[in-house]
A and B are shown apart, each in its own frame.
Chain A
Amino acid sequence: MKCVLCLVALFAFFSNAVIADDTTAKLILIKEVLNDIITEGNDLSVQYSLFNIGDGPATDVELADSDFHESEFELVSGMTSVKWERIGANSNVSHVVVVKPLKASAFNSTSAVVQYVASEGAEPTFGFSDELGELSIISATEYKRLHASHVWEWFLFSVFCIPSLLLPYLLHFTSKSKYNALSAKKKH
């Protein structure tokens, strides 16, 4: 009986030890565009969020996104290649890159890549973010046409309408008032 109990205790100790050594990290990378409308010449914000859903820490984490070529985008802030030494288990980090599109066209957004070491001594693991697909970058002219408030333009238009609307009406009204007054005077 004592031997059985000792064996059971030893087994439990070693199994826990084995489980404690067998912790691995598992990273999920989410890439999202923060803008509702992407316009040529205006800032485009892209957020990368890394979630470690594994039991262990992820080390030597490297994030890279090759979508934003210099010929098509100007980097405003942030980096397209980022490194973290360690992302703990059940924790997350995020990074925002701000770029400025230089051309108005359809833009095909591919996945960002993350490389990390899931457990001590393991080979690097690669992961990919979601693909955003084709994004439409509208020109500044189109943006102004669709989304600007145009308050000043409507105000100036109403001023320009004065000779066409207000002046003829005032002339007619002045004459009408004059002869109505004369007519009323005659009746009395």
Chain B
Amino acid sequence: MAPKSNFSKEEELLLQDFGRGLSAKSSAIFYFHAFIVSTVPLYLFSNIQQMFICENAILFGIGTIVSMYFISFAYKNNKFELKHKIAQKRGDGVSAEIHAAVADMDGNKKVSKKEKDERILWRKNEVAEAESIQLAVFNTNATFLAILIFLAFLIFKNYAPTPNYAISIFVASGLTALFSTSSQN
């Protein structure tokens, strides 16, 4: 028989906030950044590898969509890993912020400790959410672009442009997604 859950309502809310699910806003941010980082390398391929956009539109389209999928997957994984760590580190700072905000409020209105703790928890989640999104985007984009440039302009530099693009974009986005699945305990 499964044991009865001993989590309080606040703890359950905390678990919900720290799950893998993404809000609509987070998803929109991730897809936007995935689109930008997948299309920026097209400039390099069109001007350095002399692959004209019109002639290679289908290949570029497929490469961009596949790359966006893998990079979004990597964003989600990285954000989940980072959020918990950031929330632990921001605890003191957020609590100081909330205490300062409460102290500035009207003196007659007393705020209970429970309400303060709820505010701290909510604010900590909000800050961790925002910071983990930004840091996940940065880490994932840096990894993807570094691998892509290394493959396309060093390893496969003398290959024909079409296989160079296809291999580089798929391997770079695939490796970025793969690295994001590692958990650092």
Contacts and interface: CB of A to CB of B under 8 A. Distances in A.
Interface string A142-182: 10111000100100110011011100110110011011111
B35 to A, nearest CB: 10
A183 B40 contact: no
Contacts of B93: 178-183, 186
A185 interface: yes
Interface residues of A, number: 29
A161 B145 contact: yes
B145 A168 contact: no
Contacts of B33: 164, 168
A146 B160 CA distance: 11
Given A145-B161, A168-B135, A179 B142 contact: no
B138 A176 contact: no
Interface stretch (B42-50, B58-66, B105-113, B172-180): B42-50
Interface residues of B, number: 32
A60 B106 CA distance: 113
B90 A179 contact: yes
B117 interface: no
Given A153-B47, A160-B40, A183 B96 contact: yes
B127 to A, nearest CB: 7
B134 interface: yes
Given A145-B50, A150-B48, A182-B92, 14 more contacts: A160-B43, A163-B36, A164-B36, A164-B145, A165-B142, A168-B134, A168-B135, A169-B134, A169-B135, A176-B131, A179-B90, A180-B93, A182-B94, A182-B97
19 contacts: A144-B50, A145-B49, A146-B158, A150-B47, A150-B48, A157-B40, A164-B36, A164-B37, A164-B141, A169-B134, A169-B135, A171-B130, A171-B134, A172-B131, A176-B131, A182-B92, A182-B93, A183-B92, A185-B96
